[in-house]
Amino acid sequence: MNREKAMGRYKEEVEVMLQEYRIHMAKHIQERAEDLESMVKGAMDELGSRMEAQQKEYVSFLFISTLKTDLIQRNYQFLLHAMDLRWYLDDESIEIYFSAGALFEPLEQLWDRLIEKSHDYRGAVNLYDIQHILFGELEVMDALIARILRYQLRDWEKKGIFSKVTLPPYWLLKWGEYRDQMEFILHIDRGEKDESVWKGELKKAVHKPETMVFSYWYRVAYRDYTMKELDMRFMVFEESNLEGMAFHGCNLEGARFSKCTMTDCSFEGCRLWGADFTGCTLKGVSFQNADLTNAILPAPSLPFLNLTPEQLQLIGLAQEEEE
């Protein structure tokens, strides 16, 4: 059997193995969501200490990546790279390595199984072929981690995740392949925007659907806008007044409406999976036919929202915090 045919057959035979691994890895990482949060908190605490020692004024770009060089040696670490607004031109950026703990255990098991299976091919499938497969699985792992951390870290202020790090009004945290494919975890932009910016971004979203994803709107006052079937995942409105806003069939997964006053707004047919309305005042707000799976709604507003019994079974409640 030539090498090309051997590799084709090998990939077919291990496909079931890979599917089983992905299910296992997803469960494994989900069970360690709090460990992931603790890892990030520890790295940020160290970053704060390094910034103080280096007298670095602030950081705006925080990238956490998986290092393939360490994967090859089965020495699992993550890299935190912190930079100011100069981005990669920051000549005093800070790099911190921190242990991945037990996160890679399922990958270790997959690695051993792939090597064992390769023995059936008498050298036609080598170690580099197996490493290539494993590197592809890192992208799957990164996506799983990113999805969990988006929810785990969204209460970052309350939890003090970045309490030792000096951050400006604009900053972001990404996770993934170093300087390659990375996914947003947090995007903070507490600069107040003129309404013309909102109008411009809505127009742009017609041709570039990703425009509104992870967008941030701080202390704005908008009224009487209608949005239809837009991708608005993980969008944030903070301390804002929204009146007569109609989100029809929009994807608002993971969106946050933090300490907002919302009057006569509609989320008809929207996907609000994991959306957070903590601290909001909701008056005349409609969630007709909306998917509210794991959405968090303010308890005081609940009697006035006319939710269906099915919707009530899916939501979480945020109690009013004492002053």
Please state the domain extents for the chain. 3-186, 191-318
**pLDDT (tens digit, 9 = 90+) per residue, 248-291?**
999 999 999 999 999 999 999 999 999 999 999 999 999 999 99
> Mutual orientation of helices 3-31 and 33-54 as an angle, nearest 10°?
90
Q: φ and ψ at 66, to 5 degrees?
A: -90, 130
pTM of the model: 0.90
Burial tier of 232 (Cβ tally within 10 Å: 0-12, 13-18, 19+) = buried
CB count in 10 Å sphere of residue 75: 12
Q: State the virtual CA torsion across 138, 143, 144, 150 in degrees, nearest 10.
A: 140
Question: Is 79:178 a contact under the CB 8 Å cutoff?
Answer: yes
Amino acid, single-letter form, for residue 42: G
**pLDDT (tens digit, 9 = 90+) per residue, 225-256?**
999 999 999 999 999 999 999 999 999 999 99
Q: What's the angle, vertex CA 132, arms to CA 17 and CA 72, rounded to 5?
A: 100
Quote the CA–CA distance of 37 and 33 in Å, as a whole number.
6
**H-helix segments, the chain:** 3-31, 33-54, 68-72, 105-118, 127-152, 156-159, 195-207, 309-312
> Over 60: is that where the pLDDT of 299 sits?
yes
Q: Look-up: residue for tokens 């499938």?
A: 125
Amino acid, single-letter form, for residue 231: D
Q: What is the pLDDT of residue 1?
A: 67
User: CATH top-level class for 191-318?
Assistant: mainly beta
